[in-house]
Amino acid sequence: MIDKDLVQIKVAGPNATVVTLPAPTNMSLSLMELLKGNGYPIQATCGGMALCATCHVCVLEGYEQVGEPASDAEWAMLDSLFNTTDTSRLACQVRIGHACDNMLVKILGDT
Amino acid sequence: MITTDICIVGAGPVGLFAVFEAGLLGMRCHLIDVLTQPGGQLAEIYPKKPIYDIPGYPVVLAGELIQRQLEQIAPFKPTWSLGEKATDLQKNPSGDFLITTSGGNQIQAKILVIASGLGVFEPRKPPISSLDDFENKGVDYFVKNPDAYKGKKLVLAGGGDSALDWTIFLADIAAELTLVHRSSRFRAAPDSVEKVMALSQSGKVRLMLDANVTEVHGNGRLNKVVVSNKDGWPTHLDTDYFIPLFGLRPELGPLAQWGLNMDGEAIKVDNTLDYQTNIPGVYAIGDINTYPGKLKLILCGYHEAALMAQSAWKRLHPNSMFNMKYTTVNGINGF
């Protein structure tokens, strides 16, 4: 049986590996919380206010479908980084919903 | 040399409340913070954000909470080293701590309290080779003294509020000003963007968009930067100063070298007793510490500050009987 409240989030790792994480859509989780909860080493220094960039990810697949587009505050932070890509997001600003199903992300952080 | 009972590293909400709790017990405090104003991230990064979990305040703006806390600790007349980093920790033969700051100040204290939250806010530095060689020799990460740029050639980089605000301000002072931004769009406040565009049209500011500063050159002192556009095409610019303004990033800072037991970026403390670290007389409270069940809430930091102060008093008065008094009974007896 397929759980209607569960989506799949794919995380690209080193050497072309991809890990698939089941993610509940009914817990008001952010992508940052999901990644952190699954043991990825994200500091999330600011706690999810888009005030640091430790949860910076590149969305490799599904960027257009993610849901809410980046706010000015999020863009302002992304603009201050040196490894920002055209499909960068702060994971704390991406709400896990059905639109996120099968998205593929890579963790970049603040470097 | 400043002599005090308690030296507090970090003037955020928890550091400020520690002054209050220490003051109730008659202990004087000196605060050190790398930021030039008290309040830590609440004042510097999100003064206009609402906070909902401070008892007694259904909602309070971060900046307002800090103002209220400053009012609350005023009777205890804390002293300050603001805009300075605590760089070195030594122990005197007398058993007192000697803390040295980046401003060259020395603080002698019987107790050290680390309430440094996220850590030291450091400027985010662009990845340009040999940039470090020119720091304070033409490369500045902060505009501390605008007069220094009078009649000089400047290159600023960044696209946020700070980069735009300084571009507008320095355009009148500098001989030449170039602003380099990695994108073609600015996300700063719209009126700042308009002003910068107007300055660009009038020729007072040279805008280089979709571009990055990729090289810095000089002979002991900076005299040239290379700006590369999206296709990697280089432009050489003679300049006296390069000012990258890419915001601040918290770093653990010098306290990593102080011999404290750490768990990653956090200081391990004894939460069953008093939030003391592995060095007797050194406490860590608020977001910088860790222990089983740690919750990074301002509220929890306040609690830790209260317990720290009781323990610190007992360390300073080993032969006296401790008698806890409520403020409702005793009121506030300032210094």
Q: Please list every residue in chain A whose beta carbon sits closer than 8 Å to the beta carbon of residue B160.
A: 76, 79-80
Q: How far apart are CA A28 and CA A97, in angstroms?
A: 8
Helices B13-24 and B298-316, interaxial angle, to 10°?
40
Please say if the pLDDT value at position A1 is more than 60.
Answer: no
Chain B residues whose C-beta is within 8 A of a chain A C-beta are 41, 45-46, 49, 118, 124, 126-127, 158-161, 181-183, 187-188, 246-247, 249-250, 265, 296
Question: Average pLDDT of B68-83?
Answer: 97
What 3-state class would DSSP assign to B185? coil
A-chain residues within 8 Å CB-CB of B187?
72, 75-76, 79
Q: How far apart are CA B20 and CA B335, in angstroms?
A: 12
Q: Are residues B231 and B265 in the same domain?
A: no
Q: Residue B298 corresponds to which tokens in the numbers above?
A: 């301002």
Predicted confidence (pLDDT) at residue A76 exceeds the cutoff of 60: yes
In the DSSP assignment, the letter for residue B129 is: T
Q: Answer whether residue B335 is part of any domain.
A: no
Between CA B261 and CA B115 the distance in angstroms is 15
Question: Is residue B40, in this structure, part of any structural domain at all?
Answer: yes
Q: Check whether B187 has a pLDDT greater than 80.
A: no
The reply to whether A48 falls in a domain is: yes
**Residues B248-277 pLDDT 10s:** 888 888 999 999 999 988 999 998 899 999
- Domain CATH number, residue A57: 3.10.20.30
Q: Which domain holds residue A66?
A: 6-107
Residues of B in contact with A45 (CB under 8 A): 118, 250
pLDDT digits (tens, 9 = 90+) for A20-72: 999 999 999 999 999 999 999 898 878 888 888 999 999 999 998 887 888 88
In this structure, the answer to whether residues B242 and B268 fall within a common structural domain is no
Are both B178 and B273 inside the same structural domain?
A: no
Percent of chain B with pLDDT over 90: 84
Tell me whether residue A50 is in a domain: yes
Please report how the helices B13-24 and B62-73 are oriented relative to each other, as an axis angle in degrees rounded to 10.
Answer: 20
Segments forming the whole domain that contains residue B175: 125-246
Strands B97-101 and B211-218: unpaired
* Domain match, B98 and B176 both: no
Q: Is the pLDDT of residue B235 over 70?
A: yes
Three-class SS state of B75: helix
Which value does ipTM take for this structure? 0.75
Confirm whether B14 is domain-assigned. yes
Number of domains in chain B: 2
Answer yes or no: is A1 within a domain. no
With residue B327 as reference, give the H or E element that holds it.
Answer: helix B327-330
What is the DSSP secondary-structure string of B292-313? TT----HHHHHHHHHHHHHHHH
Q: In the prediction, which pLDDT does B54 show?
A: 97
pLDDT tens for residues B194-226? Answer: 999 999 999 999 999 999 999 999 999 999 999
Confidence check: pLDDT of B86 > 70: yes
Contact between A80 and B49 using a beta-carbon 8 Å cutoff:
no
Question: Which residue in the block uniquely carries the two structure tokens 């080993």?
Answer: B318
Residue B185's pLDDT is what? 85
Q: How far apart are CA A91 and CA A11, in angstroms?
A: 12
Task: Choose the closest CB to A80 out of B118, B127, B246.
Answer: B246
Residue B324's pLDDT band (cuts 50, 70, 90): confident
Q: What is the 3-state secondary structure (H, E, C) of chain A?
A: CCCCCEEEEEEECHHHCEEEEEEECCCCCEHHHHHHHCCCCCCCCCCCCCCCCCCEEEEEECHHHCCCCCCHHHHHHHHCCCCCCCCEEEHHHCECCHHHCCEEEEECCCC
- Confirm if B117 and B46 have CB atoms less than 8 A apart: no
AA identity, residue B107: I
Question: Do both B204 and B233 map to the same domain?
Answer: yes
Are both B99 and B70 inside the same structural domain?
yes
Domain membership flag for residue B261? yes
B177 pLDDT more than 70: yes
Same domain membership, residue B157 and residue B205: yes
Q: Classify residue A25: in a domain, yes or no.
A: yes
Distance CA B212, CA B224 (A): 14
List, for residues B266-306, the tens digit of each pLDDT value.
Answer: 999 998 899 999 999 999 999 999 999 999 999 999 999 99
Any domain includes B237: yes
Number of domains in chain A: 1
Position A2 confidence tier, pLDDT thresholds 50, 70, 90: low
CATH value at residue B118: 3.50.50.60
Min CA distance, B325 vs chain A (Å)? 36
Rounded CA gap, B270 and A6, in Å?
A: 40
d(CA B2, CA B108): 6
Question: Of the candidates B246, B276, B304, which is a domain's last residue?
Answer: B246
